[in-house]
Amino acid sequence: MINTSDPIVNLYLVRLIGADGVNIIKKMPPGEIVDEVVAAEVGIDINGIRRTLFKLYENRLASYRRERNPETGWLTYHWTIHLDNVENRLDIEFEKLLGNIKERLTFESDNTFYVCNNNCARFIFETASETDFICPVCGEELFHQDNEKLMRRLSGRISEMDSVLRS
């Protein structure tokens, strides 16, 4: 079983389902359980429980089985939490983040940027030239912005993350 007290796992889960959601899964008994029972045991309304469980399901951290009551026709959901999949989900998030940083580095290296002294916004060359290098927000002149430092930081972060993937 995954340790929900691990700071990285906890932060991921809080970002995914919120602090209340983390409290819900910490209080859930192991094995299959019905959402109404979880609500009664945890003391949170059924809609909050279901929202948390479906969010976990969307991220492959929970599964359910439906059962129809033959008398009423109502569906009952039997839930199972799969927190062992958290590490896999973290790997996916890590790779997505790495891809985003690589994409940002490419954007930074492929473009020339301009800003005004008020730092209202950052404009690529094409946009700056369309406004005659005048900031459309404040009316000040736009100046070339050197982004070498940012590109070095992005490259460094990519190298760090690549080394983690290789180890």
Q: What is the CATH number of the domain that holds 21?
A: 1.10.10.10
Task: Return the SS3 of 167.
Answer: coil
Q: Please give the DSSP secondary-structure letter assigned to residue 123.
A: E
Residues 119 and 154 in one domain: yes
Q: Which domain holds residue 135?
A: 111-166
Give percent of the chain with pLDDT exceeding 90: 67
Give percent of the chain with pLDDT exceeding 70: 98
Residues 73 and 121 in one domain: no
3-class SS string, 34-81: EHHHHHHHHCCCHHHHHHHHHHHHHCCCEEEEEEECCCCCCEEEEEEE
Q: How many structural domains are present in the chain? A: 2
Which of 91, 105, 116 has the alpha carbon at shortest distance from 158? Answer: 105
pLDDT tens per residue, range 29-73: 788 999 888 888 878 888 989 999 999 999 999 999 999 999 999
pLDDT tens per residue, range 133-162: 999 999 999 999 999 999 999 999 999 999
Q: What's the order of all strands across the beta sheet hosting 75-81?
A: 33-34, 75-81, 62-68
Would you state the pLDDT for residue 31?
Answer: 87
